[in-house]
């Protein structure tokens, strides 16, 4: 199994995907290829298309999957429909999303995802992107920073941290992860559990903003649901409450027949149910898995199935 990114809840993902030979599947978040490898080993007769925006992940996965056949596509999963169309794929029988940042990206110091390792403020999953955390921290207004920290990080001290950043960058640009961590600590203190949580939330918020993760997720989920063939399954693993909320709400909406407001007596929306939700409550990693892979502790796994006769 790839050490580039340790895949989470493999057995649960395979159970919910219910792979069938000869069918078409998508791994929307390839990483080092751990989940893709598990899928191909579990059912070698599937056709697998795998996406990742990070060229390093694609290269690692090529080695991981060298004894298996899969089509690897370097692209953001928000371009799922377009990229599959290039490969003449108009319908799929299952898709897996393993959201967030990979273990490798967190561990690779130069990527700038971690607040406890000195590196440039980068945080790009796609190294060809022009947007970086450094650009946001040094060029966005206080109100914009406050909104990012509050909406994407759910950080209560968002305003104070944004103002502290403004004061610091007036003296000189904030260039590194440790410099930004120091600014955050000037507001919430050093060494406490709350200080640690605040740094996690702020860095997480910046990463989500740099990579436009929530907008991309909504677009990709919508396309994935539309692409699913009858009885096809969508399985999504998230690590952030905002991501999980998007998944939960989109599944709920797709399961409903009518979405008219309660005050409307007769339905006028013409919305039809297309999904059956398989996980009323999200599944979590086992205690045993959490002990061996601490990053699995925040994982929430949801799944749904396309109804028969729907396309």
CATH of the domain at 177: 1.10.150.170
Last residue of a domain, one of 210, 241, 271: 210
Indicate whether 165 and 37 sit together in one domain: no
Indicate whether 170 and 234 sit together in one domain: no
Please give the helix or strand (H or E) that residue 168 lies within, else none. Answer: helix 158-171
Q: Are 104 and 31 in contact (CB under 8 A)?
A: yes
Indicate whether 280 and 144 sit together in one domain: no
Indicate whether 97 and 221 sit together in one domain: yes
Last residue of a domain, one of 165, 188, 210: 210
Q: Are 46 and 25 in contact (CB under 8 A)?
A: yes
**Residue 209 CB burial class (10 angstroms; 0-12, 13-18, ≥19):** buried
CA distances from 205 to 139, 151, 211, 260 (A): 16, 8, 10, 33
* Angle (deg, nearest 10), helices 142-153 and 193-210: 110
Indicate whether 220 and 100 sit together in one domain: yes
Indicate whether 248 and 100 sit together in one domain: yes
Please tell me the distance from the alpha carbon of residue 157 to that of residue 292, in angstroms, as a whole number: 33
Q: Are 276 and 283 in contact (CB under 8 A)?
A: no
Please tell me the distance from the alpha carbon of residue 26 to that of residue 18, in angstroms, as a whole number: 13
Q: Any idea what the CATH number is for the domain that residue 99 is in?
A: 3.40.50.150
pLDDT reported for residue 1: 44
Examine residue 56 and state whether it is found in any structural domain, yes or no.
yes
Average pLDDT over residues 126-146: 94
Examine residue 3 and state whether it is found in any structural domain, yes or no.
no
pLDDT class of 112 with cuts at 50, 70, 90: confident
* pLDDT at position 98 over 80: yes
pLDDT reported for residue 107: 55
Indicate whether 100 and 86 sit together in one domain: yes
**Residue 120: which of 111, 130, 129, 131 has the closest Cα?**
111
Q: Is the dihedral of CA 164, 180, 76, 101 positive or negative?
A: negative
The better pLDDT of the pair 102, 125 is held by 125
Examine residue 117 and state whether it is found in any structural domain, yes or no.
no
Average pLDDT over residues 157-182: 96
**Residue 198 CB burial class (10 angstroms; 0-12, 13-18, ≥19):** buried
pLDDT class of 101 with cuts at 50, 70, 90: confident
Examine residue 299 and state whether it is found in any structural domain, yes or no.
yes
Q: Are 8 and 293 in contact (CB under 8 A)?
A: yes
Please tell me the distance from the alpha carbon of residue 195 to that of residue 192, in angstroms, as a whole number: 5
User: What are the tens digits of pLDDT across the range 3-35?
Assistant: 555 789 999 999 999 999 999 999 999 988 999
Indicate whether 72 and 221 sit together in one domain: yes
Indicate whether 34 and 99 sit together in one domain: yes
Indicate whether 170 and 23 sit together in one domain: no
Examine residue 311 and state whether it is found in any structural domain, yes or no.
no
Q: What is the mean pLDDT of the chain?
A: 91
Indicate whether 14 and 99 sit together in one domain: yes
Examine residue 52 and state whether it is found in any structural domain, yes or no.
yes
Q: Which domain holds residue 181?
A: 130-210
Number of structural domains, the chain? Answer: 2
Examine residue 280 and state whether it is found in any structural domain, yes or no.
yes
Map residue 196 onto helix, strand or coil: helix
Last residue of a domain, one of 175, 210, 245: 210
| The pair of three-digit structure tokens given for residue 137, joined into one six-digit string | 């921290």
Please tell me the distance from the alpha carbon of residue 204 to that of residue 190, in angstroms, as a whole number: 19
For the ranges 241-245, 267-271, 297-301, which has the lowest average pLDDT?
Answer: 267-271
Please tell me the distance from the alpha carbon of residue 258 to that of residue 150, in angstroms, as a whole number: 33
Indicate whether 100 and 248 sit together in one domain: yes
Examine residue 110 and state whether it is found in any structural domain, yes or no.
no
């Amino acid at each position: 199994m790839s050490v580039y990114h340790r895949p989470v809840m493999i057995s649960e993902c395979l159970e919910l995907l219910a792979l069938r030979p000869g069918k078409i599947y998508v791994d929307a978040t390839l990483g080092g290829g751990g989940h893709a490898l598990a899928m191909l080993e579990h059912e070698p007769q599937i056709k697998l298309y795998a996406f990742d925006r990070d060229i390093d992940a694609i290269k690692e996965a090529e080695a991981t999957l060298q004894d298996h056949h899969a089509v690897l596509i370097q692209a953001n999963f928000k371009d799922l429909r377009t990229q599959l169309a290039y490969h003449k794929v108009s319908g799929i029988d299952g898709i897996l999303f393993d959201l967030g940042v990979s273990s490798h990206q967190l561990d690779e110091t130069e990527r700038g995802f971690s607040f406890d390792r000195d590196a440039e403020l980068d945080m790009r999953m796609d190294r060809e992107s022009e947007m970086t955390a450094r650009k946001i921290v040094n060029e966005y207004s206080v109100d914009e920073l406050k909104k990012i920290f509050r909406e994407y990080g759910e950080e209560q001290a968002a305003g104070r941290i944004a103002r502290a950043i403004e004061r610091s960058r007036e003296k000189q640009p904030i260039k590194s992860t440790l410099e930004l961590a120091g600014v955050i600590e000037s507001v919430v203190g050093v060494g406490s559990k709350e200080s640690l949580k605040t740094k996690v939330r702020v860095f997480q918020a910046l990463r989500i903003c740099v990579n436009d993760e929530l907008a991309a997720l909504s677009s990709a989920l919508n396309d994935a649901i539309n692409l699913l063939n009858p009885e096809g399954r969508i399985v999504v693993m998230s690590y952030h409450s905002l991501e999980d909320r998007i998944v939960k709400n989109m599944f709920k909406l797709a399961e409903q027949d009518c979405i008219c407001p309660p005050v409307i007596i007769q339905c006028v929306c013409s919305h039809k149910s297309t999904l059956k939700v398989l996980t009323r409550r999200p599944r979590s990693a086992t205690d045993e898995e959490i002990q061996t892979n601490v990053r699995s502790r925040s994982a929430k796994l949801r799944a749904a199935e396309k109804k028969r006769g729907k396309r």
